[in-house]
Structure 1
Amino acid sequence: MPPVPTGPLARLGATVVRYRRATLVLSLLFTLLAAGLSWTVSDRLVNGGYIPQDAESQRAARFLADSFGAGTADLVLVLTADRPADDPTVADAGTRLTSELDARTDTAAVQSWWNTGEPALRSTDGRSALILVRLVGAEDERQGHAKELMAELDRRDLPFSVQATGESQVNREIIEQSEQDLIRAELIVTPLTLLILLLVFGSVVAASLPAVVGAIAVLGSLAVLTPLAEITNVSVFALNVATALGFGLAVDYSLFIVTRYREELALGRDSHQAVVVAVVTAGRTVLFSACTVALSMCGLLVYPLFFLRSLAYSGILVVGFGALAAVVVLPAVLAVLGPKVFRWSLPWARADRDVRAAGFWSALARTVMRRPVLTAGPVMLLLVALALPFTQVRFGLADANVLPADAPAARAANVVERDFDAHAIDALTVALPGGTADARLDSYVQRISALPHVTHVDAPTGRYADGAQAVPATPAHAAMVNPDGVRLNVVLDVDPFSAAGERVVAQVRDLPGPVPALVGGPSATLVDTKGVVGGMLPWALAIVGVSTFILLFLFTGGLLVPVKALVLNLLSLTATFGVMVYVFQDGHLKWLVGDFTATGYLEVTIPVLAFCIAFGLSMDYEVFMLSRMREEYVRHGDNERAVAVGLARTGRLISAAAVIVASVMVALATSQLSLLKLLGVALALAVVTDALLVRAVLVPAFMRLAGRANWWAPGPLARLHRRIGLRDS
C-alpha cells in the first residue's frame, strides 16, 4: 500500500480530519448566514443586459427619448373595442386615457393614435389602437411602474379591453416566470436526481452528500450576489444558472471524492488516512477542475453586456464555493461518519459492482485502442453531421417570444404583429443631432428612400418613397424637427432580424448625411449586438483556450494532451450548436423538449453563454480522466496501460456524473422561458455527448494514436513542469 502523500493538500486534509466537528459547525453557521443574506436576492435581480448600451443604436434611442419623447416604449398598451377606434365614445375614452397617462409622475412620454394620428398605431381593421408609454427610472423601477399602472387599468371600467406588452412588461413577466420555473424545476427534477444519486452512490447516506456541497455552493454564491446586485445589474437568470450549475458540479465533486475515499478504504487504510488521500488526489482534481470551469466562465467577462457578465459572476462564485465545500466540508463529513457513510446500502449496490464496471470500461478502452481509426471515425462523422445545421444559424434579440405563448405580454405582442403594421412599428430610426429641415436633408432622405427594401421614409418635410416625395408634410411630420435636431423613420418591407434588414442598416450608415447620423431601431440594435458579440469572441476564446492549455500542461506535463482536449471539446460543442439550430431555430422536435415559440433565429448571446458553461463542464470530466491516466503513466510509463486503467477507473463515474448533471440541467429545460429551455437542452446534450462519445471513444483513440507523445514536452518546458507542475505532493 502506497504511503500517505505529503504536501499542502495533505496538510489541509489532516487539519480537516483533526478539527472535523469544528469544521462542520462553522460550515453550518456559514450556510445559515448565507441563507439569510440571500433570502431577498430575487427581488434585486433584473432582466435585460442583452444589448451594448454604448452602441450607436442605443445612443440614437437616448437622443430620440430626450429630445422628442420618442423611441422604444417601455409599455405598449393594446386597446381593443367592439367598434372602430374613431367612434366618438371610444375616441373620447382613448384621448382621456392618453392624457391621464401623460400626466402621471411615473411616465416620461405617452403617444397614442388619438393624440398623434399616426396610422401605424391603429390596427388594420380599425378596432384596436396602441398607446406607447415611456416610463421613468431604472429598469427595476420601470417594471414596478408597469405593474402598478396595469393594476389600476384592470380596476377601471373602460369601453375597450387592455392588453400590455413592451420591454418593461416583458421583463416583469420573465422575472415572475423565472421564479415559477425554479420552483417547478425543483419539484420535477429533485426526485429524479435523488433516484439517480441512489443508483450511482448505492447508499442513502452517501447519496445525500452532494446536497450538502450543493447547498453551500448555491447559498454562498447567492449571498455574494445579493450585495453585488446593489452595485451593478445582475440578471434574473443568474439564480437559475447558479442553482443548476452549483448542484451539477456538487454531484461531480462529491462523486469523485467519495469514490476515491471508498477505494482507499478497500486498500486497507483507516478512515482518517483515506480522507487525507482522497483530499490529496481527488481533491486536487476537484480544485483543478474548478479552476478550469471558472476560467471558462471568465470568457464572459470581456463582454459589455450585464446579462453575460452577471452570469459569469454567478458561475465563478458557485464553482468556487462548490470546490471549497468539496475539499473542506465533505472530507469533514467523511471523517465524522467513517465507513458509516455507506450505510443503508441498496440491494443493487453489490460489492462487485465497481469491479464489473471497471472491467467493462477497460475492455472498451482496449477495443477502441486496437482499432482507433475504425472506432473514432464514425463518432467524428456523427458529430460533424450534428454540427451541420449550425452553418445555417440566424441570430436575433430576446423579446416577448421568450415567454410562453399564453403569457399576457406574448399574447399582446402577437396581436400587435398580426393586426398592426409591424414593419412601421419596427422601423429604423435615424437621429440627426443638430440637423435642420433644409435641402441637404431633403436629398439625404431621398437617397435613403431609394434603397432596396425601404418602403418609405417619414421626415419633417413629408413622406418619401422610391427616391421622391410621396406625401406632403403633415403636422406629425413637422414634429420630427426641433431645436435639438431631426428624426426620421425608415420603414422596411423585411423582418427586422433578417439579413436584408441588417444590410439596410449598413447602407444607411454608409450614406453621407447633412450632419453625422445615429441609426437605431431593432435591426440596428441587432447589428450592434452582433458586432459586439462577434468582435469580443476572439478575446473570450483566447481567455478560455490559453488558460485551459496552460493549466492542462501544468497538470499533465505534455503539450499534445491540452491540444487534444481543446480540439475535441470544440468538436463536441459545435455538434451541440447544430442541434440548437435544428430544434430551437427551425422548430423541429418540439414534442421532445416541450412547447416554445420557434422564432427562426437564436438569441445572439446564448451560444456564447452555452459555450463557456459547456466547455467548463467538459473540462471537468477531462481533468478527472487525465488525473487517473497521468497517475498510472507516472507509475509505470506504459501509455496504453495508463489509458485503459484510467478509463476503467473513471468511466463509470464520468458517465454516471454526466447523467446526473444532465438531469440537473433538465431543470433549466423544463422552463417555460425559451432562453432557459434552450440553455438547459444545450448543456444537457453537451454533457452527455462529451461523456459518452468523446471521453469513452475519441479520447482513448487519440491517445493510442499519439502514444508516448501525449506526455512529451520540449526540454525547457519539461524542466519548467518539474519545477511548477501540479502534483500530489
Structure 2
Amino acid sequence: MSDATASPTLFARLARGVHRHRSGVLGGAVVFLVLAIWVLLQGGHLTTGTIDGIEAAKAEALARPAAAGSTDQTLAVIFHHDAWTVDEPRFTKAVADVLARAQRLPEVESVVSPVGAPPALRARFVSRTGHDLLALVRLKGGEREATAAFPAVRAAVEDPRLDTTLTGKVAFLAALNQLLEHDLLRAELISFPLALLVLLWVFRTVVAAMLPLVVGGLAVLCGVAGVLLLSRVTNMAQYTLNVVSLIGLGVAIDYSLFIVSRFRGELAQGLTTEQALTRTLDTAGRAVAFSGLAVTVGLAGLLFFRGSYLSAMGLGGALVVAFAVLFALTVLPALLSWLGPRVDKGRLPFGRSTGRGGMWHALATWVMKHPWLVLLPTLALLLAMGLPFRRLELAATDITALPPDTEARQGAETLARLFPREAATRVLVAVEFPSGDPFTPQRASALYDASRRFASLPGVVGVESAVDLSPGMDKAAYQQLAAAPAEMLPPELRVARDAYLTGNVAVLQVLTSAPPSSREARELVKALRADRSVGEGRLLVGGQTATDVDATAFVRHHTPAAVGFVMGMTCIVLFVLLRSVVLPLKALLMNLLSLAGSFGALVWIFQEGHLHQLLRFEPGPIEPSLPILLFCALFGLSMDYEVLLLSRIREEWLRTGDNTHAVAEGLEQTGGLITSAAAIMVAVFAAFALASVVVVKAMGLGMAIAVALDATLVRVLIVPAMMRLMGDLNWWGPGHHGHPHARSEGTEVRP
C-alpha cells in the first residue's frame, strides 16, 4: 500500500470526493456558467486607466467648472465641403443646423463655433483653405460619462450635406474601447483553434484535447464576469478584459494539460479511474495549486498600486487565475472521472507523446554531461537580448496608438494641418487662491506676470487665459478690467474672462507645438512646476503631458515594493513546495533572465521600431504600466514550468537521493509537456499580438516571447544545467540530513 493510500493528503481526499460526487460538481459548473453569461449580458462600467491623487488629476478637478478648463471632455468637430466655402450661406446654415441639433442633446454642455461669433473668434475656427470650419462641443460629466455619450453626439453631428470628422480625447477613448472589444473577440476566435491544434498534436485524441478548452473557456467566462461585477464598485480599465482573457485562457489550458497528461499516464500504468485520479491530483494537482498560488502572488503585486487601474487589474487577474485553479481541480477531475479510459477516444493518426524517450532522453543525457557548455552560451544570449531594456523610455498611450484609418486619428491629423493652434499640446495650469475672487486687480497682476513667464519658456507658442484676451492690453489694462463691475464689461470680454475663472481658481492653457509624449513637453511641465507661486496663489499643472509625467512617477515610486513583495512571496511559496532554500533563489534568478529577454525585445521592437512594418504599428515610448504589468503576470506564469519541472525532479530525488539522475529524469519526463504547454500559451498570447491597439499588441507579444524563452532556454537548458552543477546543494534546507529517500513528505513516493 502506498503512503498516499495509508495517509491520504488533501489532494488525494479532494480527488476521491470529486470522483464520488462528480454529478454535483458538474452541476455546480453549469450554475457558474449560467451566472457568468447573465453577468456578461448585463455588462459593466469599464473606464480608461486612471490614477487617483496625482497632481494632474487635482488640476483637472479644479479647472473642470471653467469653460476653458479641462479639454478632456471637448470634441473637435471639423466640417468640410469640397465645393462650398465657409462664407456661403448654405455652408453656414448646414453647420448651424447640425450644431443646434447637438446643443439640444442632454449630454452636451456647450458649443463654441464661428457661426455668429465675433470676427476675432471666427478667424480661429475657419481654415485657410476656405472649405473647413471647426466647432468645439463640450460634454457633461467626467471621462466615463463623456465617452458613453459619444455615439449620440456622433450621430447628431452627421449631416448628408457636409463631411464631418470628430477628434479629441473623448473620440480617442471611444475608438480605443471599440477596438479593444474587437481585439478581444478576434484574439479569442484565433487562440481557441490554435490551442486546439496544439492539444490535438500533444494528446493525439479528440476527447483529451477538448477538455483543456472546456476548462479554459469556463475560467475566462467567469473571470470576465467577475471583472464586470467589480467594475461596478471600482475603477476598472477597459483593457482589463483583454488582460484577464489572455492570462486566464493561458493558465487554464496549461493546468488542464498537466492534469490530463498525468491522468492518461497513470491509466496507462494499469490503475483504475479512481486510483489514477487520486494519484494525478496528488502530484500534478498539487503542482497546479502551487503554480496558481505563485501566479496569484505575482498579480497581487499590482495591489501595491492602490488608487490606480493597475490595482483593479491585479484583482481581476488574480480572480481569473483562481477560477482556472478551481475548475482544473474540480470540474476537470469530474469530467475525467466520468470519462475514465474514454479520455482516449477519437484517436488521431499523428502527434506525439509528451512523455519520456527519444529526443528528451538524448537532451537530458547531453545536458547532464556538458552543463557548462549549455549554461554559458545560453546565459550570454539571454543577457544580450535584455540589453535594449537599458534604453527604455516611458510615455502614456496617445492617439498614435490607434490605427491610421480610425476617424479620431485622422481627425487629429486634419486638425493639426488646418488648425494648428487648436491642435497644439495644451498644458493646463490651475492657480488656486486661498479664497475669494481670483481676478482682483492684485491677482490679475500676478496672473499677468505668470502668463508672460510661461510664454517665455522654451517651446511655448502661446498662452490662453483671462490676462491674454488681446495682444494690445498691458498689465494696467487687465488690472482695470479686474476692478470693473462685471455688468459694465462688453459681452465678449465678460464671456472670455469668465471662461478662465471659476470660484477661487484661475485657469491658464500653455500651448506648445511639441507632441504630448515628447521630451520637450515633459520639460515644459517640469519648468512650470519649478515655481509654484502666483502671488498668493499656488499653481497645479495638468493636461495629457502632466498626467503622463505623474503616471510614470507613480509607477516608479510603487514598483520597488511590488517587485519585492512578488519575489519574496514567490520564494516562500517555492520553499513550502520544495523544502529547499537554494531552489527558490535560483528560480527567482531564472525568472529575471526570461523577463530581461522579453523586456529587451519589447524595447527593440516597439520603442525602437524594428519589425514595425510587419506588425503594423507606430514606434514610440512604452506605456508606463506595461513593464510592471508584464513583470507581475509573467513572474507568476513562469512558475508554471518551474513548479512542474522541479516537482517532478523532487519526486525522483526523494525516491533515489541521486541529484544528477533526478534532474535528468525530471527533464526527460516533463520536457515535452513543458514545451507543449508553452506552445499553447504562445499561441494564445500571439493571437493577442495581432491586436490593433499597440498596448495590447505589446503585451501579447511580450508575454509570448517571455514564455517561449522561459520554456526553452531557461527551463529546458539553464535550470537543469545549473542543478547539475550545484549537486546536492540544490536540496539544502531545514531538516536536510542527506537521506531524502528516507523521509516521509506526504508526496506520492513510487516503489
TM-score normalised per structure 1? 0.90
Q: Which amino acid aligns with 1:135?
A: L
Map of 1:407 onto structure 2: 406
SS at match of 1:490: strand
Map of 1:19 onto structure 2: 21
- Residues 670 and 10 of structure 1: is their aligned pair in 2 closer, same or farther, counting only changes over 3 Å? same
- Residues 424 and 169 of structure 1: is their aligned pair in 2 closer, same or farther, counting only changes over 3 Å? closer
Q: Which amino acid aligns with 1:341?
A: V
Deviates more, 1:315-324 or 1:664-673: 664-673
Partners of 1:553 and 1:559 within 8 A in 2: yes
Q: Which amino acid aligns with 2:367?
A: V
Map of 1:622 onto structure 2: 642
1:141 paired with 2:119, answer: no
In structure 2, C-alpha distance between the alignment counterparts of 1:658 and 1:553, rounded to whole Å: 24
> Of the candidates 511, 517, 524, which is equivalent to residue 491 of structure 1?
511
> Of the candidates 195, 201, 204, which is equivalent to residue 203 of structure 2?
201
Map of 1:441 onto structure 2: 447
Equivalent positions of 1:382-393 (< 5 A) are: 382-393=381-392
SS at match of 1:296: helix
> Of the candidates 121, 126, 142, which is equivalent to residue 117 of structure 1?
121
Equivalent positions of 1:47-86 (< 5 A) are: 47-49=47-49, 51-74=50-73, 75-82=75-82, 85=86
Q: Which amino acid aligns with 2:451?
A: V
Partners of 1:265 and 1:271 within 8 A in 2: yes
Map of 1:184 onto structure 2: 186
In structure 1, C-alpha distance between the alignment counterparts of 2:574 and 2:124, rounded to whole Å: 58
In structure 1, C-alpha distance between the alignment counterparts of 2:465 and 2:172, rounded to whole Å: 31
SS at match of 1:234: coil
Q: CA deviation at 1:320?
A: 0.8
Equivalent positions of 1:297-446 (< 5 A) are: 297-304=299-306, 306-349=308-351, 353-354=353-354, 357-421=356-420, 425-434=424-433, 435-436=438-439, 437-446=443-452
Deviations 1:54-78 (A, max 9, x none): 2211221222221345312432222
In structure 1, C-alpha distance between the alignment counterparts of 2:625 and 2:572, rounded to whole Å: 27
> Of the candidates 454, 460, 465, which is equivalent to residue 454 of structure 1?
460
TM-score normalised per structure 2? 0.88
SS at match of 1:170: helix
Q: CA deviation at 1:411?
A: 1.8
Map of 1:674 onto structure 2: 694
In structure 2, C-alpha distance between the alignment counterparts of 1:714 and 1:453, rounded to whole Å: 63
SS at match of 1:321: helix
- Residues 491 and 173 of structure 1: is their aligned pair in 2 closer, same or farther, counting only changes over 3 Å? closer
SS at match of 1:516: strand
Partners of 1:424 and 1:492 within 8 A in 2: no
In structure 2, C-alpha distance between the alignment counterparts of 1:321 and 1:17, rounded to whole Å: 20
Q: CA deviation at 1:91?
A: 5.1
In structure 2, C-alpha distance between the alignment counterparts of 1:69 and 1:462, rounded to whole Å: 13
SS at match of 1:53: coil
Q: CA deviation at 1:84?
A: 5.4
Partners of 2:296 and 2:321 within 8 A in 1: yes
In structure 1, C-alpha distance between the alignment counterparts of 2:242 and 2:454, rounded to whole Å: 45
Partners of 1:497 and 1:523 within 8 A in 2: yes
Deviates more, 1:31-40 or 1:653-662: 31-40
In structure 1, C-alpha distance between the alignment counterparts of 2:46 and 2:389, rounded to whole Å: 31
> Of the candidates 577, 587, 590, which is equivalent to residue 568 of structure 1?
590
In structure 2, C-alpha distance between the alignment counterparts of 1:537 and 1:458, rounded to whole Å: 37
- Residues 46 and 84 of structure 1: is their aligned pair in 2 closer, same or farther, counting only changes over 3 Å? farther
In structure 2, C-alpha distance between the alignment counterparts of 1:723 and 1:440, rounded to whole Å: 80
Deviations 1:624-643 (A, max 9, x none): 11111111222222222221
In structure 2, C-alpha distance between the alignment counterparts of 1:238 and 1:422, rounded to whole Å: 35
- Residues 15 and 314 of structure 1: is their aligned pair in 2 closer, same or farther, counting only changes over 3 Å? same
Q: CA deviation at 1:264?
A: 1.9
SS at match of 1:375: helix
Deviates more, 1:235-244 or 1:619-628: 235-244
Partners of 2:595 and 2:634 within 8 A in 1: yes
Deviates more, 1:107-116 or 1:640-649: 107-116
Partners of 2:236 and 2:309 within 8 A in 1: yes
Deviations 1:132-158 (A, max 9, x none): 32322354432332111211222x355
- Residues 163 and 521 of structure 1: is their aligned pair in 2 closer, same or farther, counting only changes over 3 Å? same
Partners of 1:264 and 1:274 within 8 A in 2: yes
1:685 paired with 2:684, answer: no
> Of the candidates 513, 535, 540, which is equivalent to residue 534 of structure 2?
513
Q: Which amino acid aligns with 2:107?
A: D
Partners of 2:66 and 2:507 within 8 A in 1: no
In structure 2, C-alpha distance between the alignment counterparts of 1:457 and 1:377, rounded to whole Å: 59
In structure 2, C-alpha distance between the alignment counterparts of 1:110 and 1:365, rounded to whole Å: 72
Question: What runs of 5+ residues in structure 2 fail to find an aligned partner?
Answer: 482-491
Partners of 1:213 and 1:326 within 8 A in 2: yes
Partners of 2:196 and 2:213 within 8 A in 1: no
Deviates more, 1:240-249 or 1:101-110: 101-110
| Aligned Cα root-mean-square deviation (Å) | 3.1
Map of 1:649 onto structure 2: 669
Q: CA deviation at 1:654?
A: 0.5
In structure 2, C-alpha distance between the alignment counterparts of 1:303 and 1:119, rounded to whole Å: 46
Partners of 2:4 and 2:747 within 8 A in 1: no
Q: Which amino acid aligns with 1:574?
A: A
Q: CA deviation at 1:527?
A: 0.8
Deviations 1:483-521 (A, max 9, x none): 533222222343321223222212211113321101112
SS at match of 1:709: helix
SS at match of 2:661: helix
Question: What runs of 5+ residues in structure 1 fail to find an aligned partner?
Answer: none
In structure 2, C-alpha distance between the alignment counterparts of 1:126 and 1:53, rounded to whole Å: 44
Deviations 1:238-267 (A, max 9, x none): 333333322211221111111211222233
Partners of 1:261 and 1:278 within 8 A in 2: yes
Q: Which amino acid aligns with 1:419?
A: L
- Residues 541 and 723 of structure 1: is their aligned pair in 2 closer, same or farther, counting only changes over 3 Å? farther
Q: Which amino acid aligns with 2:625?
A: T
SS at match of 2:463: strand
Map of 1:590 onto structure 2: 612
SS at match of 2:106: coil
Partners of 2:723 and 2:730 within 8 A in 1: yes
Q: Which amino acid aligns with 1:153?
A: V
Map of 1:558 onto structure 2: 580
Q: How many residues are paired up? A: 713
- Residues 380 and 481 of structure 1: is their aligned pair in 2 closer, same or farther, counting only changes over 3 Å? same
Map of 1:701 onto structure 2: 721
Map of 1:532 onto structure 2: 554
In structure 1, C-alpha distance between the alignment counterparts of 2:179 and 2:733, rounded to whole Å: 52
Q: Which amino acid aligns with 1:600?
A: G
Q: Which amino acid aligns with 2:606?
A: F
Q: Which amino acid aligns with 2:395?
A: G
- Residues 428 and 168 of structure 1: is their aligned pair in 2 closer, same or farther, counting only changes over 3 Å? closer
In structure 2, C-alpha distance between the alignment counterparts of 1:17 and 1:452, rounded to whole Å: 73
Deviates more, 1:200-209 or 1:408-417: 408-417
Identity %: 36
SS at match of 2:660: helix
Q: Which amino acid aligns with 1:517?
A: L
Q: CA deviation at 1:98?
A: 5.0
> Of the candidates 533, 545, 548, which is equivalent to residue 523 of structure 1?
545
Q: CA deviation at 1:79?
A: 2.2
Map of 2:487 onto structure 1: none
Partners of 1:46 and 1:234 within 8 A in 2: yes
Q: CA deviation at 1:452?
A: 2.8
Deviates more, 1:564-573 or 1:297-306: 297-306
> Of the candidates 220, 223, 229, which is equivalent to residue 222 of structure 2?
220
Partners of 1:73 and 1:133 within 8 A in 2: no
Deviations 1:655-699 (A, max 9, x none): 000001111112212222222211111111111111011111111
